[in-house]
Structure 1
Amino acid sequence: MSRKNLLEISSPNGERPEPAPHRDSRPLAGLAPTVRSGSPVGGITKTLGNITEKMERATDLERQLAQGQTIVEIDPALVDASFVADRLEIDPVELAQLVEQIREHGQQVPVLLRPHPEAKSRYQVAYGHRRLAATRMLGIKVRAVVRELTDEQLVVSQGQENSARTNLSFIERALFAARLEERGFGRDVIMASLGVDKAALSKMMSVISQVPMAVLTAIGAAPDVGRRRWAELAERLTPSNCETIATELSADNWRALSSPERFQRALEIAQNKEQRAVSAASNAEIPGLPVTLKTSAKSATFVFNNKAAPGFDRFVQERLSQLFAEYQQQQGA
């Protein structure tokens, strides 16, 4: 299907619209009224004139679409997502609110598309994924500006618009940066797309490198959770508690909670691992002996009271070989 047919360029009932107010840019061809001749015009002449007029309007509209100078309506089924995802999820509550706003007031802000670089007659969205999703739910066409964009121009537009309008969370921005780097984009392009300096980008990349994707997916976008708390979680993660976090938060009862609540639970799991290791370390006096036993999850230490029994530590030390031999004998029995 050609782009001309999608845009449904036509002149209803053959009528010409009223003159548009003066603007700096030239109006679309065929929209400004022409001076009618006072002499009668034959049917064939009128038909040829209408065909020529429509061709001129379509050609001019194609030119303006390529330059991104006008807003058009496009079937959402012809629009594909950006080649780099910038969100972990679309909040269903926010999406429902957006659907109601568009239902009541119409789509006020257009999305930005480019002609799909690999699929003819299709488009790829630079920004406006939520608006696109809302129009799909409503079953209406999406209002869009179409521009020819390189991959770099698309990701910079995508990152800057999302940072300014939709306030991506810290972890989504960090994940977006990591995905761009995986695709070979330089740090200068990544910094431009996110509007950050080198130091801020380095901190993002440091955090995202320590948090497995399974944990990120289980937690979600976690709005309002900033770099410091994510860094705290990242420092406490181990292979064991990562598996626990991903398993627990993926369960239905935990998925029902908000993303910030799931983040808090993940931090509690990571902290509890450390707390259990600390609480496992204990001091215990051995009844009747001048010795205290200190234990932890990985070791045990005897502390001798030299004031109560001077030289007892050396006495035990001299007999350690004999004690160990008895231990091995019992283990082999």
Structure 2
Amino acid sequence: MSVKDRMNMMKGILADNPSKKIPEAEASDGALMSTAPKKGTQTAPGGMLAFRSQLQQHEATVKSLEAKLAQYADGVRTIKLEASLVDESKWANRHSSSFDTAAFDRFKDEIAHAGGNIQPILVRPVASRYEVVFGHRRFKACKLLGLPVLAMIAEMSDEELFTLMDRENRERADLSPFEQGEMWRKAIDEGLFSSARQLASHVGVSNVHVTQCMSVARLPSFVLELFANPTEIQVRWAKAINDQLQADPELLTDRSAKIKALGKNFSSSKIFEMLVRDDKGSTKLHSSPLKHEGKVVGKISRGADGEVSVSIKPGFLSVAAFSNLEKLLADLIGK
């Protein structure tokens, strides 16, 4: 999203709350004063005149803000900040794995080659520090490179910050249910919204979608820690795991402990299968025959709990061959 598009996004929010400041706007500008109706009792004609006057002031304020935002859209006033003075937002939802990819390395190299981020991030002042509103990848890259970060500064409330971040994040092509659900979970747990339904109404998505994404983020910690990358957890997996948790929490806890004890880097899909498998069916996830000259002489199997077994009929494995097999398996273990 371009700076101009982001400023247009901010314009929509600031128009709803014109008392907030735009980047580096003059605090003394009368157009930025709040136009909220005054409390008190008035006669009907007087109240109507007051309301009309306040409405006109509000419209004037919005027009003033739009004019300033239009100026900033084409020539944004920015400042370079030391990365050490900037903090990630408490609503940030990018998983740490997103910064450990070849794509992010290339992105970081581009910023290093340019000597810093060309497109500014947006921050809000918090005491003597700053909090990122959007541009977390650019901020992260600059911080890792030891470079100052180019930023726009705007004062805003928690609700406005959350709204901007949510709109920005939902434009990401790689946004996972876990990341989106984690952001929404934090907003509800910290009291920004009273319920998933209220949050859904505020951000303009269905309550079902909010509930589904949050079902991934709210999986038990002992389940989430099994996945090297929780962003790979699908919504339908979360439903099956939560169903298992409701039906037999002890069984799910036991299975999670066994998977963790194996110390293996299973794929996300394999972990899901091991968590919700049906014990009434076969416990073998994989079994292949071992053949010699076209005849089956044994088999190798992998159980649902990750246990591997090899069986070979008598007379087909010499002492020397058995010794070589031991060495081969020893070399493979842990890889």
- Structure 1 length normalisation: TM-score? 0.53
Counterpart of 1:216? 224
2:122 partner letter? L
Structure 1 residue 175: Cα displacement: 1.9
Kept after mapping to 1: 8 A contact 2:181/2:214 = yes
Structure 1 residue 136: Cα displacement: 1.1
For the residue of structure 2 that corresponds to 1:115, the secondary structure is strand
1:142 pairs with 2:149: yes
Structure 1 residue 200: Cα displacement: 1.6
2:205 pairs with 191, 196, 208, which one?
Answer: 196
1:98 partner letter? F
2:123 partner letter? L
Structure 1 residue 170: Cα displacement: 0.6
For the residue of structure 2 that corresponds to 1:219, the secondary structure is coil
Counterpart of 1:104? 113
Task: Find the aligned partners of 1:250 and 1:75 in 2 and give their Cα distance.
Answer: 43
Structure 1 residues without counterparts, runs of 5 or longer: 1-60, 281-333
Counterpart of 1:171? 178
Structure 1 residue 79: Cα displacement: 0.5
Structure 1 residue 96: Cα displacement: 1.9
1:132 partner letter? F
Kept after mapping to 2: 8 A contact 1:112/1:125 = yes
Instruction: Mark the CA change 1:77 to 1:247 in structure 2 (over 3 Å): closer, same or farther.
Output: farther
Counterpart of 1:25? none
**Structure 1, 194-203 or 145-154: larger mean CA deviation:** 194-203
Kept after mapping to 2: 8 A contact 1:207/1:234 = no
For the residue of structure 2 that corresponds to 1:145, the secondary structure is strand
Kept after mapping to 1: 8 A contact 2:163/2:203 = yes
Higher alpha-carbon Rg: 1
1:176 partner letter? M
Instruction: Mark the CA change 1:110 to 1:152 in structure 2 (over 3 Å): closer, same or farther.
Output: same
Structure 2 residues without counterparts, runs of 5 or longer: 1-22, 33-67, 284-335
1:125 pairs with 2:87: no
Task: Find the aligned partners of 1:190 and 1:220 in 2 and give their Cα distance.
Answer: 29
Q: Percent identity?
A: 24
Instruction: Mark the CA change 1:143 to 1:90 in structure 2 (over 3 Å): closer, same or farther.
Output: farther
Instruction: Mark the CA change 1:190 to 1:243 in structure 2 (over 3 Å): closer, same or farther.
Output: farther
Instruction: Mark the CA change 1:200 to 1:156 in structure 2 (over 3 Å): closer, same or farther.
Output: same
For the residue of structure 1 that corresponds to 2:186, the secondary structure is helix
- Structure 2 length normalisation: TM-score? 0.53
Kept after mapping to 1: 8 A contact 2:177/2:216 = no
CA RMSD in angstroms comes to: 3.4
Matches within 5 A, 1:238-257: 238-242=249-253, 244-245=255-256, 248=259, 253-254=264-265
Task: Find the aligned partners of 1:249 and 1:62 in 2 and give their Cα distance.
Answer: 51
Structure 1 residue 72: Cα displacement: 1.9
Instruction: Mark the CA change 1:253 to 1:107 in structure 2 (over 3 Å): closer, same or farther.
Output: farther
Structure 1 residue 86: Cα displacement: 1.5
Kept after mapping to 2: 8 A contact 1:171/1:221 = no
For the residue of structure 1 that corresponds to 2:212, the secondary structure is helix
Kept after mapping to 2: 8 A contact 1:79/1:123 = yes
